[in-house]
Structure 1
Amino acid sequence: MEKIKRLQSVTQFNQERGQETLHPLVTVLDQSKSGNITATRFLSELYIVFLKEEKCADMLYGRGHYDYQNETLIFIAPNQMAGFDEPDATIRPNGWALAFHPDFIRGTALARAMRDYHFFSYGSSEALHVSEREQKILLECFEKIRFELEHAIDKHSKKLVISNIEMLLNYCERYYDRQFTTREEVNRDILTKFEESIHNYFDSGTAARLGLPTVAYFADEFHLSPGYFGDLIKRETGISPQEYIQNKLIDLAKEHFFADDRSISEIAYELGFKYPQHLTRLFKQKVGSTPNEYRSMN
C-alpha cells in the first residue's frame, strides 16, 4: 500500500528541498536552488502555489494529473492530496514555489477572501497556463515576497508579505478568467452537453432511482472538479450550475403538471425529490405559486 506523507509545516517543505527557512509560516523558493526530492504522495496542511517553468514529472492532484506544460501554475489548499505518480523516483524541482500555513493569514482580510479563490479547489487538467508576459508579472510577486522575507522583520513585514500574496492570487484570478475566455469553444461545448445530460438524467429515470442531480455528478461526467465546472458554467450562463439545474427542474415540473393528471407527489418522486413538499417549496420560491395553484391557474 502506498504511503501517504503529511506535509505539516513550512520548515518541512523547505528542508525537503534543502533550502533555508526564513519564516516559520511562509516561504518562497527559487526551485533552481532546491535539491532533488523523492517522489511521494502527500496530504498538505499548507497553501501551496507552484510555478513550473518547464516540463517536469506529472503531478497528481486527488485522482487526476495536472497537465504540466511550460509556464504552468498549480494550487494546493490545506487538506488536499497531491504528489507524484512515480513512487520513490527522484525529482528535480524547477520554477518557483510559495507555501504558507493558514495561521500566517488567520484573522486577516486575505483569510476571509481565500474561499473566493476557487482555483484552489480545481482538479486535474485544470492548471493555469500563462504567457511569458504574465509569467514575468507573477515572478515579480514571488520576488517581492522573497525580498520581504529576507528583509529584517519590522512592523510592516507581515502586512507587505500578505499584500503581495494577495496580489499574486488576484493576478492568477485574472489569468484564469483569460483562460476561460480563450477556451470559449470548449466551454460552450460542455454547456451544450451539460444541458443534454440534465435531460437524459430525468428522461432515463435516473432521478427516480438516485434522487435529485448534483453539480458533482455532472462535473464527474465531464472529468472536471466541481469548482472548475461551477466557474465554467457560471461564466457561460451567468448563474451557478445548481441554479441552472433547478431552473431545468422547474421547467420539467411545469411540463408534467400540464401533460398528465398525476398527483404532485407522484411527479415529485419521479423528478427525484425525497419528499413532495420539497418540490412545493422550490416551486413556490421560483415561480411564486405552489404546484396546485399553478395547475389551477393554467
Structure 2
Amino acid sequence: MGKNILNLETVHQCNCFLGEKTFHPLVSIIDLSKAGWQQQRHLKLGFYAVLLEEHTCDCFLHGRKDYDFSDGTLLFLSPGETIEIGEKHEMFNIKGWLLTFHPEFIINTPLGQNIGQYTFFYYRKEEALHISLREKRIICQSFENISDELHHSIDEYSKTLISKQIELLLDYCTRFYTRQFITRCEANKKIIEKTGCIADRFFIANQTCLTGLPTTKQCAHQLQLSPAYLENLFKHETGKTIYEYMQFKRIEIARKWLRETDKTIGMIAKELGFSSTQYFSSLFKRITGSSPCEYRLYQKINVSL
C-alpha cells in the first residue's frame, strides 16, 4: 500500500491538524503537550518547522549517541519535506514545542536573506541536535518569546519582531550544533577517515578522468549522511570544504606518483582528472610551493644523497 500522506501547505492547516488556534496566518508556535493529535500519518509540509522534543529519560532517538546530551532533541524541517509521526498513543506522551513559519513570512527580512546559512534545515532526522538542560532553557525561552509576540495583536511591528526572535533562535541552534560537533570529535574523525577511503578508492579506480572529483553528494550517500551535515562537519573539523579536501587528496596522490613512478606530468594530470597539464601544474605549485618538475627533481636529489 502507498503512504497515506497529508499535505499541510499552510501554517493554518497545521494548526487545524493539531487542534490549535491560529493567531498569525504565517507563523505558529504550539505546546505539544496540549496538542490534539490525529491518527498516524505521513505529513508533507509547505513551511519551515522547528520541533523540540523534551526527554524525561535517557532515550536514544534521532541519532543520539551515548556521548550526546539527552535533555532534549531539536529537529529542523524545510518546505516540501515529508515526515512520519508515530502511533497515536506515543503522540500523547510528547512534550515539547513546534514552531512553524511560512517562507512568505520572511520575505524582505534579514532572516529571509540569511535563511540559507541555517543548513541544518536540510539535515536528516538522524542528524538532529541533542541539547543540554542549560541549552534547553535557552531554546524554551526563545519559544516563549515568540509565543508572547504571537499572542499580541498583529500590527506594523509584528513581522520585524517575530522574524528577529526566530533568527535569534536559529543563531542559538547554530551555536549548539557547533558544540555538538565538538563533543562528537572522535566520531567525526572516523567519518573523515571513511571519506578519505572513499576518495582513495575513487582515485585508484581512475574515475576522476571520467567523472571528475568525488562530490559531497556522492560521499554523503555512501556514508548515509546528508550532504549539508557532511559539508558542515568537514568545515568544522578540517577548515576545508569537501571539494577542497578532494583537491588536497588528489595532490597527495600526484606527489606519490611523482616520487614513485616514471609517469609523465601529462599522464598524471590526465589520470587524476585535471582539465589540463597547465592547470595541474599551477594548482600543484600553489599547494606545495614547487612545480611538479621541481618536486620530482628535488625528490631524486634527496634519494641520491
TM-score of the superposition, structure 2-length normalised? 0.82
Q: Deviations over 1:188-227 (max 9, x none)?
A: 2222332233223222445456543112222222221111
The question of whether the paired residues in 2 share the 8 Å contact of 1:41 and 1:83 is answered with yes
Structure 1 residues 208 and 40, CA, compared in 2 at 3 Å: closer, same or farther? farther
Structure 1 residues 29 and 188, CA, compared in 2 at 3 Å: closer, same or farther? same
Task: Give 1:62's aligned residue.
Answer: none
The question of whether the paired residues in 1 share the 8 Å contact of 2:71 and 2:132 is answered with no
> Where in structure 2 are the equivalents of 1:60-71 lying within 5 Å?
66-67=62-63, 70-71=71-72
**Deviation of 1:175 (Å):** 0.7
Task: Give 1:153's aligned residue.
Answer: 154
> Where in structure 2 are the equivalents of 1:55-94 lying within 5 Å?
66-67=62-63, 70-84=71-85, 91-92=91-92, 93-94=94-95
Q: Deviations over 1:27-85 (max 9, x none)?
A: 011111101233322332211000001379x9xxxxxx833765100000112232236
The question of whether the paired residues in 2 share the 8 Å contact of 1:26 and 1:101 is answered with yes
SS of the residue corresponding to residue 82 of structure 1 reads strand
Task: Give 1:8's aligned residue.
Answer: 9
Structure 2 gap segments, 5+ residues each? 65-69, 298-305
- Bigger Rg over Cα: 2
SS of the residue corresponding to residue 107 of structure 1 reads coil
Correspondence 1:23 to 2:24: yes
The question of whether the paired residues in 2 share the 8 Å contact of 1:38 and 1:89 is answered with no
SS of the residue corresponding to residue 119 of structure 1 reads helix
Q: Deviations over 1:82-119 (max 9, x none)?
A: 22366x98733431010000110111111111111121
Between the aligned partners of 1:208 and 1:42, the Cα distance in structure 2 is 43
After the TM superposition, which of the residue ranges 179-188 and 37-46 deviates more from structure 2?
Answer: 37-46
Task: Give 2:231's aligned residue.
Answer: 230
Between the aligned partners of 1:132 and 1:41, the Cα distance in structure 2 is 30
Task: Give 2:176's aligned residue.
Answer: 175
Q: Deviations over 1:118-171 (max 9, x none)?
A: 211111421111111111111111011111111122322221111110111111
Between the aligned partners of 1:169 and 1:279, the Cα distance in structure 2 is 45
Between the aligned partners of 2:276 and 2:105, the Cα distance in structure 1 is 43
The question of whether the paired residues in 2 share the 8 Å contact of 1:67 and 1:126 is answered with yes
The question of whether the paired residues in 2 share the 8 Å contact of 1:187 and 1:236 is answered with yes
Structure 1 gap segments, 5+ residues each? 59-64
Between the aligned partners of 2:277 and 2:40, the Cα distance in structure 1 is 50
| 2:293 counterpart letter in structure 1 | R
The alignment covers a number of residue pairs equal to: 284
TM-score of the superposition, structure 1-length normalised? 0.84
SS of the residue corresponding to residue 126 of structure 2 reads coil
Correspondence 1:287 to 2:285: yes
**Deviation of 1:179 (Å):** 0.8
> Where in structure 2 are the equivalents of 1:1-298 lying within 5 Å?
1-54=2-55, 66-67=62-63, 70-84=71-85, 91-92=91-92, 93-207=94-208, 211-257=212-258, 259-260=260-261, 262=263, 266-271=267-272, 273=273, 277=275, 280-281=278-279, 284-285=282-283, 287-288=285-286, 294-295=292-293, 298=297
The question of whether the paired residues in 2 share the 8 Å contact of 1:38 and 1:90 is answered with no
Structure 1 residues 200 and 149, CA, compared in 2 at 3 Å: closer, same or farther? same
Between the aligned partners of 2:240 and 2:258, the Cα distance in structure 1 is 26
